[in-house]
Structure 1
Amino acid sequence: MFKHVLIVCIGNICRSPTAEFLLRHRLKDRDIRVSSAGLSAAVGHPMEDNAMRILKERGIDAADHRARQLSPSMLREADLVLVMEREHLAAASRMAPESSGKLFLLDKWREAEDVPDPYRRTRQVFDHVYDMIERGVDSWIRYL
Protein backbone atom coordinates (compact mmCIF):
# COMPACT_ATOMS: atom_id res chain seq x y z
CA MET A 1 0.00 0.00 0.00
CA PHE A 2 1.33 3.41 -0.96
CA LYS A 3 1.14 6.06 1.75
CA HIS A 4 3.36 8.72 0.18
CA VAL A 5 3.66 9.52 -3.53
CA LEU A 6 6.36 11.96 -4.63
CA ILE A 7 6.21 13.56 -8.08
CA VAL A 8 9.37 14.95 -9.68
CA CYS A 9 10.26 17.22 -12.59
CA ILE A 10 12.97 19.85 -13.07
CA GLY A 11 11.82 23.21 -11.66
CA ASN A 12 8.82 22.07 -9.57
CA ILE A 13 6.73 24.96 -10.92
CA CYS A 14 4.87 23.39 -13.88
CA ARG A 15 4.58 19.63 -14.37
CA SER A 16 5.20 18.05 -10.98
CA PRO A 17 2.97 20.43 -9.00
CA THR A 18 0.24 20.04 -11.64
CA ALA A 19 0.42 16.27 -11.20
CA GLU A 20 0.68 16.65 -7.41
CA PHE A 21 -2.46 18.76 -7.05
CA LEU A 22 -4.40 16.72 -9.61
CA LEU A 23 -3.49 13.40 -7.95
CA ARG A 24 -4.23 14.84 -4.51
CA HIS A 25 -7.65 15.96 -5.82
CA ARG A 26 -8.35 12.51 -7.31
CA LEU A 27 -7.33 10.81 -4.02
CA LYS A 28 -9.04 13.29 -1.67
CA ASP A 29 -10.95 10.52 0.13
CA ARG A 30 -7.90 8.31 0.57
CA ASP A 31 -5.15 8.42 3.18
CA ILE A 32 -2.30 8.96 0.70
CA ARG A 33 0.09 11.89 0.97
CA VAL A 34 1.10 13.46 -2.35
CA SER A 35 4.00 15.88 -2.69
CA SER A 36 6.37 17.13 -5.38
CA ALA A 37 9.90 18.42 -5.82
CA GLY A 38 12.33 19.43 -8.54
CA LEU A 39 15.73 18.16 -9.57
CA SER A 40 16.78 21.77 -10.12
CA ALA A 41 13.93 23.54 -8.37
CA ALA A 42 13.08 27.22 -8.50
CA VAL A 43 12.98 27.00 -4.71
CA GLY A 44 10.26 29.06 -3.07
CA HIS A 45 8.58 30.07 -6.33
CA PRO A 46 4.85 29.55 -6.86
CA MET A 47 3.46 27.54 -9.75
CA GLU A 48 3.80 29.01 -13.21
CA ASP A 49 0.71 31.10 -14.04
CA ASN A 50 -0.58 28.97 -16.92
CA ALA A 51 -0.25 25.76 -14.92
CA MET A 52 -2.06 27.27 -11.93
CA ARG A 53 -4.78 28.73 -14.16
CA ILE A 54 -5.47 25.36 -15.82
CA LEU A 55 -5.90 23.70 -12.41
CA LYS A 56 -8.10 26.55 -11.17
CA GLU A 57 -10.34 26.17 -14.24
CA ARG A 58 -10.90 22.59 -13.08
CA GLY A 59 -11.71 23.58 -9.51
CA ILE A 60 -8.27 22.83 -8.04
CA ASP A 61 -6.56 25.55 -5.99
CA ALA A 62 -2.76 25.35 -6.13
CA ALA A 63 -2.02 28.85 -4.84
CA ASP A 64 -0.18 27.49 -1.78
CA HIS A 65 2.44 25.64 -3.82
CA ARG A 66 6.07 26.65 -3.42
CA ALA A 67 8.83 24.86 -5.32
CA ARG A 68 11.07 22.49 -3.35
CA GLN A 69 14.47 21.01 -4.17
CA LEU A 70 14.52 17.22 -4.40
CA SER A 71 16.75 15.51 -1.85
CA PRO A 72 17.89 11.91 -1.32
CA SER A 73 15.84 11.75 1.89
CA MET A 74 12.66 12.69 0.00
CA LEU A 75 13.29 9.82 -2.41
CA ARG A 76 13.93 7.39 0.44
CA GLU A 77 10.82 8.47 2.38
CA ALA A 78 8.39 8.15 -0.53
CA ASP A 79 6.71 4.84 -1.29
CA LEU A 80 6.34 5.70 -4.98
CA VAL A 81 8.17 8.31 -7.06
CA LEU A 82 6.66 9.40 -10.37
CA VAL A 83 8.80 11.40 -12.80
CA MET A 84 8.07 13.21 -16.05
CA GLU A 85 11.01 12.06 -18.20
CA ARG A 86 13.44 9.19 -18.54
CA GLU A 87 16.28 11.58 -17.72
CA HIS A 88 14.58 12.26 -14.39
CA LEU A 89 14.54 8.52 -13.65
CA ALA A 90 18.30 8.39 -14.15
CA ALA A 91 19.00 11.55 -12.14
CA ALA A 92 16.84 10.47 -9.20
CA SER A 93 18.38 7.00 -9.27
CA ARG A 94 21.87 8.51 -9.11
CA MET A 95 20.80 10.71 -6.20
CA ALA A 96 19.44 7.79 -4.15
CA PRO A 97 20.31 4.44 -5.79
CA GLU A 98 18.44 2.54 -3.09
CA SER A 99 15.21 4.17 -4.32
CA SER A 100 15.51 3.05 -7.93
CA GLY A 101 12.93 0.27 -7.49
CA LYS A 102 10.18 2.76 -6.73
CA LEU A 103 10.93 5.24 -9.53
CA PHE A 104 8.56 5.23 -12.50
CA LEU A 105 7.48 7.43 -15.39
CA LEU A 106 4.14 9.14 -14.82
CA ASP A 107 3.08 7.73 -18.20
CA LYS A 108 4.22 4.17 -17.38
CA TRP A 109 0.78 2.57 -17.81
CA ARG A 110 0.01 4.28 -21.12
CA GLU A 111 2.58 5.04 -23.82
CA ALA A 112 5.55 5.39 -21.44
CA GLU A 113 6.22 8.77 -23.03
CA ASP A 114 8.12 11.65 -21.53
CA VAL A 115 5.91 14.56 -20.50
CA PRO A 116 7.54 17.61 -22.13
CA ASP A 117 8.37 20.72 -20.16
CA PRO A 118 5.94 23.55 -21.02
CA TYR A 119 7.93 26.24 -19.19
CA ARG A 120 7.94 29.57 -21.08
CA ARG A 121 5.73 28.09 -23.78
CA THR A 122 2.23 29.02 -24.95
CA ARG A 123 -1.04 28.24 -23.18
CA GLN A 124 -1.73 25.71 -25.93
CA VAL A 125 1.43 23.79 -24.94
CA PHE A 126 0.38 23.92 -21.27
CA ASP A 127 -3.06 22.53 -22.20
CA HIS A 128 -1.42 19.67 -24.11
CA VAL A 129 0.92 18.89 -21.21
CA TYR A 130 -1.98 19.05 -18.75
CA ASP A 131 -3.85 16.47 -20.84
CA MET A 132 -0.81 14.19 -20.76
CA ILE A 133 -0.46 14.64 -16.99
CA GLU A 134 -4.15 13.96 -16.44
CA ARG A 135 -4.01 10.71 -18.43
CA GLY A 136 -0.86 9.66 -16.54
CA VAL A 137 -2.36 10.48 -13.13
CA ASP A 138 -5.59 8.66 -13.95
CA SER A 139 -3.68 5.59 -15.12
CA TRP A 140 -2.02 5.29 -11.67
CA ILE A 141 -5.24 5.55 -9.61
CA ARG A 142 -6.07 1.84 -9.84
CA TYR A 143 -2.63 0.93 -8.45
CA LEU A 144 -2.91 3.25 -5.46
Structure 2
Amino acid sequence: MSAATNHSKQVLVVCTGNTCRSPMASAWLAHKLAGKGWTVSSAGVAAWNGQPASPEAIEAMREIGVDLADHRSRIVDDTLVAAADIILTMTEGHSYEINARFPQATDKVRLVKSFGAAPPDNVMDPLGAPLEVYRQVRDELVQALGDFLVFLAERGDLPPSP
Protein backbone atom coordinates (compact mmCIF):
# COMPACT_ATOMS: atom_id res chain seq x y z
CA MET A 1 0.00 0.00 0.00
CA SER A 2 1.43 3.37 -0.89
CA ALA A 3 2.17 5.92 1.78
CA ALA A 4 -0.26 8.33 0.10
CA THR A 5 -3.19 6.00 0.72
CA ASN A 6 -5.09 6.99 3.86
CA HIS A 7 -8.04 4.61 3.62
CA SER A 8 -7.86 0.89 4.08
CA LYS A 9 -8.25 -1.39 1.12
CA GLN A 10 -11.01 -3.95 1.23
CA VAL A 11 -11.31 -7.63 0.37
CA LEU A 12 -14.76 -9.15 -0.08
CA VAL A 13 -14.87 -12.96 0.15
CA VAL A 14 -17.90 -14.58 -1.52
CA CYS A 15 -19.46 -18.04 -1.43
CA THR A 16 -23.05 -19.29 -1.69
CA GLY A 17 -24.74 -18.97 1.71
CA ASN A 18 -22.07 -17.09 3.67
CA THR A 19 -22.14 -19.66 6.49
CA CYS A 20 -19.18 -21.94 5.69
CA ARG A 21 -16.41 -21.10 3.21
CA SER A 22 -16.47 -17.30 3.01
CA PRO A 23 -16.72 -16.76 6.78
CA MET A 24 -13.85 -19.20 7.34
CA ALA A 25 -11.73 -17.49 4.70
CA SER A 26 -12.56 -13.93 5.69
CA ALA A 27 -11.95 -14.51 9.41
CA TRP A 28 -8.54 -16.09 8.77
CA LEU A 29 -7.60 -13.39 6.28
CA ALA A 30 -8.76 -10.58 8.60
CA HIS A 31 -6.58 -12.08 11.34
CA LYS A 32 -3.54 -12.13 9.04
CA LEU A 33 -4.18 -8.62 7.63
CA ALA A 34 -4.88 -6.94 10.99
CA GLY A 35 -3.01 -3.65 11.18
CA LYS A 36 -1.78 -3.87 7.58
CA GLY A 37 -4.17 -1.43 5.91
CA TRP A 38 -6.80 -3.93 4.80
CA THR A 39 -10.31 -4.77 5.95
CA VAL A 40 -12.00 -8.05 5.10
CA SER A 41 -15.69 -8.89 4.82
CA SER A 42 -17.75 -11.74 3.43
CA ALA A 43 -21.10 -12.32 1.78
CA GLY A 44 -23.00 -14.93 -0.19
CA VAL A 45 -24.64 -14.88 -3.60
CA ALA A 46 -27.67 -16.73 -2.15
CA ALA A 47 -27.40 -15.93 1.56
CA TRP A 48 -30.15 -15.39 4.09
CA ASN A 49 -29.18 -12.35 6.12
CA GLY A 50 -28.41 -12.94 9.79
CA GLN A 51 -27.55 -16.66 9.87
CA PRO A 52 -24.64 -17.81 12.05
CA ALA A 53 -21.70 -19.71 10.64
CA SER A 54 -22.25 -23.46 10.62
CA PRO A 55 -21.22 -25.22 13.85
CA GLU A 56 -18.61 -27.22 11.92
CA ALA A 57 -17.10 -24.05 10.43
CA ILE A 58 -16.97 -22.48 13.89
CA GLU A 59 -15.22 -25.57 15.31
CA ALA A 60 -12.76 -25.96 12.42
CA MET A 61 -11.66 -22.35 12.78
CA ARG A 62 -11.59 -22.49 16.60
CA GLU A 63 -9.03 -25.27 16.25
CA ILE A 64 -6.61 -22.81 14.61
CA GLY A 65 -7.39 -19.90 16.93
CA VAL A 66 -9.90 -18.01 14.78
CA ASP A 67 -13.31 -17.09 16.24
CA LEU A 68 -16.42 -17.24 14.03
CA ALA A 69 -18.97 -17.17 16.86
CA ASP A 70 -20.18 -13.65 16.05
CA HIS A 71 -20.42 -14.12 12.27
CA ARG A 72 -23.79 -13.40 10.65
CA SER A 73 -24.47 -14.07 6.99
CA ARG A 74 -25.43 -11.45 4.44
CA ILE A 75 -26.15 -11.35 0.77
CA VAL A 76 -23.71 -9.69 -1.59
CA ASP A 77 -25.01 -6.28 -2.68
CA ASP A 78 -24.03 -3.15 -4.59
CA THR A 79 -22.55 -1.47 -1.51
CA LEU A 80 -20.24 -4.37 -0.64
CA VAL A 81 -19.14 -4.80 -4.25
CA ALA A 82 -18.48 -1.08 -4.74
CA ALA A 83 -16.40 -0.87 -1.55
CA ALA A 84 -14.24 -3.88 -2.41
CA ASP A 85 -10.82 -3.51 -3.99
CA ILE A 86 -10.75 -7.24 -4.69
CA ILE A 87 -13.47 -9.88 -4.57
CA LEU A 88 -12.37 -13.44 -3.85
CA THR A 89 -14.82 -16.15 -4.89
CA MET A 90 -14.90 -19.81 -3.96
CA THR A 91 -15.99 -21.12 -7.38
CA GLU A 92 -16.18 -20.16 -11.03
CA GLY A 93 -19.96 -20.15 -10.53
CA HIS A 94 -19.65 -17.45 -7.88
CA SER A 95 -17.37 -15.43 -10.17
CA TYR A 96 -19.92 -15.76 -12.97
CA GLU A 97 -22.75 -14.69 -10.65
CA ILE A 98 -20.87 -11.62 -9.39
CA ASN A 99 -19.85 -10.63 -12.93
CA ALA A 100 -23.43 -11.04 -14.19
CA ARG A 101 -25.04 -9.09 -11.34
CA PHE A 102 -22.31 -6.48 -10.95
CA PRO A 103 -20.61 -6.04 -14.35
CA GLN A 104 -18.78 -2.96 -13.06
CA ALA A 105 -16.82 -5.28 -10.74
CA THR A 106 -15.44 -7.70 -13.34
CA ASP A 107 -11.86 -6.47 -12.95
CA LYS A 108 -11.99 -7.05 -9.17
CA VAL A 109 -13.18 -10.68 -9.21
CA ARG A 110 -10.71 -13.55 -8.69
CA LEU A 111 -11.01 -17.16 -7.61
CA VAL A 112 -9.50 -17.57 -4.15
CA LYS A 113 -7.48 -20.50 -5.54
CA SER A 114 -5.91 -18.55 -8.41
CA PHE A 115 -2.84 -17.03 -6.79
CA GLY A 116 -0.54 -20.03 -6.35
CA ALA A 117 1.44 -22.19 -8.73
CA ALA A 118 -1.38 -24.71 -9.21
CA PRO A 119 -4.04 -24.06 -11.86
CA PRO A 120 -7.06 -22.08 -10.60
CA ASP A 121 -9.63 -24.31 -8.95
CA ASN A 122 -12.91 -24.24 -7.03
CA VAL A 123 -13.25 -24.74 -3.26
CA MET A 124 -15.88 -27.38 -2.53
CA ASP A 125 -18.88 -26.53 -0.37
CA PRO A 126 -18.70 -28.48 2.91
CA LEU A 127 -22.31 -27.69 3.92
CA GLY A 128 -23.83 -30.79 5.48
CA ALA A 129 -20.53 -32.68 5.57
CA PRO A 130 -18.78 -33.92 8.72
CA LEU A 131 -16.23 -31.83 10.62
CA GLU A 132 -13.31 -33.59 8.89
CA VAL A 133 -14.44 -32.15 5.53
CA TYR A 134 -14.60 -28.67 7.07
CA ARG A 135 -11.04 -29.16 8.30
CA GLN A 136 -9.95 -30.10 4.77
CA VAL A 137 -11.68 -27.02 3.33
CA ARG A 138 -10.14 -24.85 6.07
CA ASP A 139 -6.67 -26.13 5.24
CA GLU A 140 -7.28 -25.61 1.52
CA LEU A 141 -8.40 -22.04 2.21
CA VAL A 142 -5.41 -21.31 4.46
CA GLN A 143 -3.07 -22.45 1.67
CA ALA A 144 -4.91 -20.43 -0.98
CA LEU A 145 -5.05 -17.33 1.19
CA GLY A 146 -1.37 -17.67 2.00
CA ASP A 147 -0.77 -17.51 -1.76
CA PHE A 148 -3.02 -14.44 -1.90
CA LEU A 149 -0.94 -12.74 0.82
CA VAL A 150 2.21 -13.42 -1.20
CA PHE A 151 0.47 -11.85 -4.22
CA LEU A 152 -0.39 -8.73 -2.19
CA ALA A 153 3.17 -8.46 -0.87
CA GLU A 154 4.69 -8.89 -4.32
CA ARG A 155 2.59 -6.08 -5.76
CA GLY A 156 3.45 -3.80 -2.85
CA ASP A 157 0.06 -3.83 -1.11
CA LEU A 158 1.37 -4.93 2.28
CA PRO A 159 3.77 -3.12 4.58
CA PRO A 160 7.12 -4.86 5.04
CA SER A 161 7.20 -7.48 7.78
CA PRO A 162 9.15 -6.46 10.90
Fold-level similarity (TM above 0.5)? yes
Q: Which residue of 2 aligns with 1:53?
A: 59
Superposition deviation, residue 38 in structure 1: 0.3
Alignment of 1:1-144 (within 5 A): 1=1, 3-110=9-116, 111=118, 112-144=120-152
The whole-number CA distance in structure 1 between the counterparts of 2:34 and 2:10 is 13
Q: Secondary structure at the match of 1:20?
A: helix
| Amino acid corresponding to residue 18 of structure 2 in structure 1 | N
Question: What percent identity do the matched residue pairs reach?
Answer: 33
Task: Report SS of the residue matched to 2:151.
Answer: coil
Deviation at 1:26, TM superposition (A): 1.0
Amino acid at match of 2:145: V
Instruction: Tell me, yes or no, if the aligned pair for 2:115 and 2:151 is still in contact at 8 Å.
Output: no
Distance 1:90 1:102 in 2: 12
Unaligned runs of 5+ in 1: none
CA distance, structure 2, for counterparts of residue 53 and residue 117 of structure 1: 16
Q: In 1, Cα distance between the equivalents of 2:35 and 2:151?
A: 15
* Rg larger in structure: 2
- Partner SS state of residue 134, structure 1: helix
- C-alpha distance in 1, partners of 2:92/2:129? 21
Letter matched to residue 15 of structure 2 = C
Q: Tell me the distance in 1 between the aligned counterparts of 2:128 and 2:15.
A: 15
Q: Partners of 1:60 and 1:46 in 2: how far apart?
A: 15
Q: Deviations over 1:58-106 (max 9, x none)?
A: 1111111100111123112200000000010000001110100010000
> CA–CA distance in 2 between the matches of 1:115 and 1:73?
25
CA distance in 1, matches of 2:33, 2:132: 27
Runs of 4+ in 1 over 2 A off after TM superposition: none
